[in-house]
A and B are shown apart, each in its own frame.
Chain A
Amino acid sequence: MSQTDIEIVVEDPTAPEDDSPSVVSSGTIEIVVSLLLLALAVTLGFDNWRTGASWDATGPEPGYFPFYLSVILAGASLYGLIAALLARRTSSATFVTRAQGRRVLAVFVPTLLFCLATQFLGLYVASFLLIAGFMRLVGRIALWKSLLTAFAFTAIMFVTFDVAFDVIMPKGPLEAALGR
């Protein structure tokens, strides 16, 4: 046996607690999603009906195929809505607990900010900020490690995409100042 005894151990200090209270139940989310899908189906269906969902001299009009799909989507969402409303009394499955919700937001909000930053500062600066900020603030990793990792990763991405493969990313004031 070549089995070695070294174990790999990784801790997760900010893991969500198991007994965290529920924020919202799956049933409620199912109802909301069904309503949203129904609204989408009606909007798209109406738009297709306006475009023309019947037959003309050349065959089916452009809206024909998507119009009937909207009808199918509306039907399935309506069914889902009724099923979720009926099941609401009996089941109380948790969609997300408070601790889980906090962790999900801890990724989602930085990602949202990253997209915003990409729009104004360019992708590479935004990527540096995201990685360094996330490692430091969410992962509680030493500042120098966070900065170094963020710089190294961003630099590798820049060299791979911009220089080697000629895939151009959105750029901002910093790249302009550096003449790229």
Chain B
Amino acid sequence: MEALGLLLHGFAVLLTWKTLVLMMVGLVLGIFVGVLPGLGGPNGVAILLPLTFTMDPTSAIVMLSCIYWGALFGGAITSILFNIPGEAWSVATTFDGYPMAQQGRAAEALTAAFTSSFVGSLVAVLLITFLAPMISSFALKFGPPEFFAVYLLTFCSFVGLGREAKHKTVISMSLGLLLAGIGMDTVSGSLRMTFGSPELLRGINFLVAVIGLFGISEILLTMEERLALRGHAAGISLRVVLGVWKDLPKYWVTLLRSSFVGCWLGITPGGAIAASFMGYNLAKRFAKDPESFGKGRIEGVFAPETAAHASGTSALLPMLALGIPGSGTAAILLGGLMVWGLNPGPLLFVEHKDFVWGLIASMYLGNVVGLVLVLTTVPIFASILRVPFAAVAPMIVVSCAIGAYAIQNAMFDIWLMLGFGVVGYVFKKIGIPLAPFTLALVLGNRAEDAFRLSMIGSGGTLKVFWSNGLVGSITTLAILLLFWPVIDNLLARVGLTHGTRATSS
């Protein structure tokens, strides 16, 4: 139970006025970001990252992760009251949340959403508390080949398990890895792919790309849609909250199932979006009367919200333990870690105990405070949507530009951000996924270093990736995942599984 002692230490780090204030600020900004159209978790975190440059790492991560929790909470508000998902992961919440609001049960639906979000994160944080230290101490034995194998596993699982067209995922990922290589080569010190441009010497900054890809492109996409909205205003009374909480034990199976689905998809690169849909569908499939879903059933709110939050939170587990982010937002937090001068990876648990356990403690506290905050302030946040988008859009553009410039004090980065905005817009519209690109860009140099170090160590033979049981099994698993659709199909042909994409009868 060493973890418990360290966790208490984390709370001690956290309980200063300064950190608590930053936590509140983060949560409020996060809910704001989650409610507004055209801003989401990843870009909210990316835009606000420059604010933390002068903070110490612990305060910085506490504030940023609270923005993330806030965004997760905020997404539910617009889904239920306006039938507009503020975030992609709250789409499934609209299925039953909005009908409930129409029936005058908005307060009940909101309470259900916030409470289940809380339960989902709590399960995920418990998992992180006990599992992350174990994984990281195990990973301390890793050498370059093992690390490269883990990176390979991450990339391959994106290709093999992603729902997008495979070649598009490959395009997105190889482009990210290539752009990560621009600038000074970290091993030999020579310049690569700079074409004589002094601006490219610095390389393409990951955060600048993210701000463009998610911030600017999201505004362009939002403008394409009709922005008129009509929704219910709701205040939540204590009586409704207690009423929902009293019934909570009845739904323990749904809550638990969604938590597990969410944790699993959060750790593997499935993400909160997939988790929320899967949570909803499973709840529907196991219900006695599936046809009542979609007509305002409270379980239809519990299931996707629990899963989305469990997934969003557990995505931080591989980031903390191995330095490999499980989601786009986790990738940005990882980028932040590097800016604050921390080296992500298993050593984090050894060298920066205050930071890691402060962060984990802030997950507990942030979710409790967040729950109370959203329950009491829903009407205020719902009315933010009255602000016309014509006022919000240019403010977001300015915030993006400030964020992009502040990272390296370079005007070139503002232009780069604009370029990535266009790229992000086009990619989203033709179905090239952005998450693999983000991940590849942030991990590119580390993956390459690991690869080159292993190759130097082995004298240039690829056999090093099968040189012992551990690295061999990770590499083999990676290759299996890469070709998973093909394997799944083959298994289906010989009649071993049902196969998700079987074509033969």
* Bind each other: yes
Once bound together, how far apart are the Cα atoms of A59 and B240, in whole Å? Answer: 67
Assess whether A65 is in contact with B451, with CB atoms less than 8 Å apart: yes
Contact, CB under 8 Å: A60 / B455: yes
Q: Which residues of B contact A44 (CB under 8 A)?
A: 178, 193
**In the bound complex, what is the Cα–Cα distance between A90 and B165 (angstroms)?**
18
Kindly name the residue among A72, A96, A119 whose own CB sees the greatest number of chain B CB atoms within 10 A.
A72
Quote the shortest CB–CB distance from B230 to chain A (angstroms).
5
Contact with A along B225-250 (1 / 0, CB 8 A): 11111111111110110000000000
B185 within 8 A of A: yes
Q: Which residues of the partner chain A approach B171 to less than 8 Å between Cβ atoms?
A: 37, 73, 76-77, 80
B178 A29 Cβ-Cβ under 8 A:
no
Does B88 belong to the interface (CB within 8 Å)?
no
Q: How far is the CB of B37 from chain A (nearest CB, A)?
A: 11
B202 contacts A by Cβ under 8 Å: no
A41 and B385 CA atoms in complex are apart in Å by: 43
- For residue A16, CB closer than 8 A to chain B, the reply is yes
Task: From the candidates A65, A123, A140, name the one contacting B452 in the complex (CB within 8 A).
Answer: A65
Name the A residues within 8 Å of B181 (CB-CB). 65-66, 69
In whole angstroms, what is the CA distance A30 to B232 when docked? 40
Say yes or no: is B315 at the interface (Cβ < 8 Å to chain A). Answer: no
User: Beta-carbon contacts of A27-66 to B below 8 Å, as 1s and 0s?
Assistant: 0011001000100110010011001000100111111111
Are A134 and B233 touching (Cβ within 8 A)?
Answer: no
- Given the known inter-chain contacts A66-B181, A66-B193, A131-B394, please indicate yes or no for A10 contacting B388, CB distance below 8 A: yes
Whether the pair A123, B402 counts as a contact (CB closer than 8 A) is yes
Are A66 and B402 in contact (CB-based, < 8 A)? no
Question: Would B429 and A8 count as touching, CB distance under 8 A?
Answer: no
Asked whether A9 is an interface residue with its Cβ less than 8 Å from the other chain, the reply is: yes
Is A151 engaged at the interface, CB distance under 8 Å to the other chain? no
Instruction: Compute how far the CA of A76 lies from the CA of B178 in the bound complex, rounded to whole angstroms.
Output: 14
Within 8 A of B (CB), among A84-142: 95-96, 100, 103-104, 106-108, 110-112, 114-115, 118-119, 123, 127, 130-131, 134-135, 138-141
| Chain B residues near A83 (CB-CB < 8 A) | 165, 167
Q: Are A55 and B220 closer than 8 Å at their CB atoms?
A: no
On chain B, the residues within 8 Å of A154 by CB distance are 398
B429: which of A1, A10, A96, A110 is its contact (CB, 8 Å)? A96
Cβ contacts under 8 Å, B165 to chain A: 83
Contact with B398, one of A3, A7, A10, A127 (Cβ below 8 angstroms): A127
- What is the CA–CA distance of A161 and B52 in the complex, to the nearest angstrom? 11
Contact B167 A8 (CB under 8 A): no
CA distance A169 to B456 in the complex (A): 43
Least CB distance from A116 to B in Å reads 10
Q: A47-B192, A118-B401, A131-B395 are in contact. Are A167 and B451 (CB under 8 A)?
A: no
Tell me if A144 counts as interface (CB < 8 A to partner B): no
Check if B106 sits within 8 Å of A167, measured CB to CB: no
Q: Is the C-beta of B411 less than 8 angstroms from some C-beta in chain A?
A: yes
The yes or no answer to A178 lying at the interface (CB within 8 A) is no
**If A4-B233, A165-B51 touch, does A10 touch B216 (CB 8 Å cutoff)?**
no
B426:A66 contact, CB within 8 angstroms? no
Whether A177 sits at the interface, judged by CB under 8 Å, is no
A95 touches B104 (CB 8 A): no
Interface residue SS majority, chain B: helix
CB of B499 to closest CB in A, whole Å = 22
Bound-state Cα–Cα, A77 to B427, Å: 13
- Most chain-B Cβ atoms within 10 A of its Cβ — which of A2, A106, A108? A2
Smallest beta-carbon distance B481→chain A, Å: 17
- Whether A168 is near chain B, meaning CB under 8 Å from some CB there, is yes
Q: Please tell me if B67 contacts chain A, counting CB pairs below 8 Å.
A: no
A71 to chain B, nearest CB (A): 9
Q: Is the CB of A139 within 8 A of B430?
A: no
A6 at the interface (CB under 8 A from B): yes
A41→B171 CA distance, assembly (Å): 10
Chain A residue numbers with a CB within 8 Å of B54 are: 165-167
- State whether the Cβ of A26 lies closer than 8 Å to any Cβ in chain B: yes
Cα of A66 to Cα of B445 in the assembled complex, Å = 10
Q: Is the CB of A30 within 8 A of B430?
A: yes
Interface residue from B240, B383, B393, B397 paired with A8 (Cβ < 8 Å): B383
Query: B391: CB under 8 A from chain A?
Result: yes
Return the chain B residue nearest A77 by Cβ: B171
**Is the pair B233, A107 in contact by a Cβ cutoff of 8 Å?**
no
**How does the 8 Å CB contact mask read for B398-435 relative to A, with 1 for contact and 0 for none?**
11011001100101001100100110011101101000
Q: Are A2 and B234 in contact (CB under 8 A)?
A: yes
Tell me which residues across on chain B come within 8 A of A22, comparing CB atoms.
Answer: none
Beta-carbon contact of A118 and B414 below 8 Å: yes
> Nearest Cβ distance between residue B218 and chain A, in whole angstroms?
11
> Cβ of A79 and Cβ of B386 under 8 Å apart?
no
Shortest beta-carbon distance from A75 to chain B in Å = 8
Whether A135 pairs with B394 at a CB distance below 8 angstroms is yes
Name the CB-closest residue of A to B171: A76
Known: A110-B397, A131-B391. 12 other contacts (CB 8 A): A3-B232, A11-B228, A33-B426, A60-B460, A65-B451, A72-B170, A104-B220, A104-B223, A123-B398, A130-B397, A167-B51, A167-B406
Question: 9 A-B residue contacts at CB 8 Å?
Answer: A3-B106, A8-B233, A48-B192, A65-B181, A73-B178, A96-B429, A127-B401, A135-B388, A140-B390
Lowest 4 CB-CB distances: which A-B pairs, in order?
A: A139-B390, A59-B456, A12-B228, A2-B237
